[in-house]
Structure 1
Amino acid sequence: MKRDTYPGLPRPKARVLLAVAPDARRFRAWVGPEAPEWGAAIAFPDLQRIVMQGRSAGSDAGDPVSVFRHELAHLALHEYLGDLPPRWFDEGYAGWAAGEWGRDESLATNVALLLGGMPTLDSLEAGFYEGSRTAEQSYALAFRAVSDLASLDPERGLTLFFRYWKETGRFDAAVRSAYGMTGDAFEALWRTRTRRRYGALALVANLSLATAIFSVAFLPLWIARRRRDKRRLEALRAADEVAEREERESALAALLGAPDEPPEERSIST
């Protein structure tokens, strides 16, 4: 591959077996019943194996090159750190290494972020198994956590952090040594950044959606009201025209006056 290295990690050395399933039935059989239904590819770090959907994959499977790099990142991370990374970091790092910046879009519609509904890093684990929408949010939040962690050292990113994590076997100790802050402090920073960055966007998006739904629901009523008001206005205008015409005729008749009556005949005696 042209991009055969991964941020912060040494170049992987293990060989990888890639299995491309010819159809959906074969894919489900190869990945097993525990794999999520929406998955486009699954990595098996202990076996150094990746199973991907083939040409029969739906449009929601994503770019196969990006998907493949995502799964390779899982293997590279496992090769260096073994089982140390929790699920949220494993998924977040794979998405970040694969450049899946589009995951942020799902956060821009989650108004719960603005209302203080940010999960903890540990609670992200359950979200990967609670349906495609919840999983999508968990992937996006994990992506942001890894991205924010790497941004703490603009020059070396995750390099020192990975080294300390491998040496100590503890996430918190690695964060302290690499970035000079506790794991809890980083988590608080991540939650604050994410809520500030996406909470307002989510509110605007949801208000826009609510406005659109309101407009669609009440547009027929508004049109009917406008038509009724238009007919009523036309009737009033017609009545006003009749009244004005009658007033003009009455005023003209008064101005001209009625015809003179003949004078009475009088007898004059002489």
Structure 2
Amino acid sequence: MRRLPFLARVFFHVRFFALTLAVLLSLAIARPAIAGEPVVSAPRDAPLVLQPNVVKIPPVPVSYSDKDLGWLHLRYVPNAHERLEPILREAEEMKAQLRDWFGTPVLDQVEVRIARTPDEMAALAPDGLPPPAYATGVAYAPLHLVLLSLSAPEASVEAPDLREVFFHELVHVALYDAVAGRHVPRWFNEGLAIHVSGESRFVRLRTLWEATLSRQTIPLADLDAAFPQDRYEVSIAYAESADFVRFLLRDADRVRFASLIERVRNGTAFDRALADAYGTDLRKLEYQWREEIAKRYTFLPVLTSGSLLWVLVFAALVVGYMRKRKRNKAILERWELEEAALDAAKAAAAAAAVAAEAPASEKQIAPHPPGLPRIEYEGRWHTLH
């Protein structure tokens, strides 16, 4: 076999090496996450901004109103003013609360833009970073920029709760500040935003209750890897995330929570920081949390708990039932009396009507006194006296 020329052999080896390297790189990019390996992900309404220094942010329309509160710079459509006033009164309190929880100052400078519609909101977004089509709010945390819409996408029938969306997005920015941009799991990011904003509280409680009773809760490790796509599972994921953050923020654990944030800010991976701050790993904390919700979201407390809350609830149900029963009995007695009186009146009216309509031949004729003579005159009988 004839040997290839030197240059041809070199070209062949270089080409083979390049193809091999390309295959290895593609496998490395496409490979699934190893169990236990942290996955870098972010909420869809808080997208990753890899190069914030080169991002271009479009100007707001000249028709927008402008309000500068020092740390909070608002630019909004004029008709949003009345809806904003009560929210701004809470904003300072929320900022102070987050500073206490995190143990570090946050939200030194934030710009919030409020548009009329999602399309108008998208026009205010940084170039190349549009908000999700379904979103009514988005937080570009590295840019300290929040966008909100006063109306929901056409597919939605309800207008967004401006207060809830406002605080939800601000929390994303605050958490970014607190951990200095370090990665935290998506369930932690979303859970904290939902817990602080209080959005859909009763819906979340019902969802978590149903998931607990039906044993459909999702392991936090799965949520860390990827959020579900199914609509019902997404609602469970959000409800779980918010409640687990509530669990981490219990009064007795506030110092541990601040320690967790500090450790992440200093560069410790989240799972390790959580274990160091709480003295146990995520798996054991999740087990403790599941034991708690199993007690909270089952029927057993209604039957066996001696807590004041359940006693009051049961007493209220009994009192309400007795009052309702007594009220219904009084109503039935009144109806019976009214019906009896009405029946009597109808009977009397019917008798009177029958008597009035009877023919003359059927009417009673007074009897003729015996012993007196009678004569007929012009077709009528007369008694002689």
Q: TM-score of the superposition, structure 2-length normalised? A: 0.45
Where is the helix percentage greater, Structure 1 or Structure 2? 1
Residue equivalent to 1:43: 139
Residue equivalent to 2:101: 8
**Within-5 A mapping of 1:168-247:** 168-198=267-297, 200=299
Name the CA shift for 1:80/1:139 in 2 (closer, same or farther; >3 Å).
same
Q: Aligned letter for 1:171?
A: F
Q: Distance in 2 between matches of 1:36 and 1:200?
A: 40
Residue equivalent to 1:74: 172
Query: Is the counterpart of residue 137 in structure 1 residue 230 in structure 2?
Result: no
Q: Distance in 2 between matches of 1:105 and 1:170?
A: 31
State the 1:147 CA deviation. 0.8
- How many residues were matched structurally? 199
Q: Aligned letter for 2:241?
A: A
State the 1:197 CA deviation. 2.6
Whether contact under 8 Å (2:182, 2:267) holds in the other structure is no
State the 1:89 CA deviation. 0.4
Name the CA shift for 1:180/1:103 in 2 (closer, same or farther; >3 Å).
farther
Name the CA shift for 1:177/1:152 in 2 (closer, same or farther; >3 Å).
farther
**Within-5 A mapping of 1:2-151:** 2-3=92-93, 4-5=95-96, 6=98, 7-9=100-102, 10-28=104-122, 30=124, 35=132, 37=134, 39-54=135-150, 60-81=158-179, 82-100=181-199, 101-108=201-208, 110=210, 112-124=211-223, 128=227, 130=229, 132-151=231-250
State the 1:30 CA deviation. 5.0
Query: Where in structure 1 are there 5+ consecutive unaligned residues?
Result: 202-270
Name the CA shift for 1:123/1:195 in 2 (closer, same or farther; >3 Å).
farther
Could you say which structure has the larger radius of gyration? Answer: 2
State the 1:98 CA deviation. 2.3
Name which structure has the greater RCO, CA cutoff 8 Å, separation 6+. Answer: 1
Note the aligned Cα RMSD (angstroms): 3.0
Give secondary structure in 2 for the equivalent of 1:42: strand
Residue equivalent to 2:43: none
Q: Distance in 1 between matches of 2:131 and 2:162?
A: 22
Whether contact under 8 Å (2:122, 2:130) holds in the other structure is yes
Whether contact under 8 Å (2:208, 2:239) holds in the other structure is no
Q: TM-score of the superposition, structure 1-length normalised? A: 0.62
Residue equivalent to 2:30: none
State the 1:105 CA deviation. 2.8
Identity %: 24
Whether contact under 8 Å (2:138, 2:169) holds in the other structure is yes
Name the CA shift for 1:104/1:166 in 2 (closer, same or farther; >3 Å).
same
Q: Distance in 1 between matches of 2:263 and 2:226?
A: 28
Name the CA shift for 1:141/1:56 in 2 (closer, same or farther; >3 Å).
closer
State the 1:36 CA deviation. 5.6
Name the CA shift for 1:19/1:128 in 2 (closer, same or farther; >3 Å).
farther
Q: Distance in 2 between matches of 1:135 and 1:88?
A: 11
Q: Distance in 1 between matches of 2:276 and 2:189?
A: 20
Q: Distance in 2 between matches of 1:13 and 1:129?
A: 31
For 1:103-154, what per-residue CA distance to the aligned partner results, in whole angstroms no more than 9, with x for missing partners?
Answer: 53342552x4234322111322577562554333221110011111122734
Q: Distance in 2 between matches of 1:121 and 1:149?
A: 14
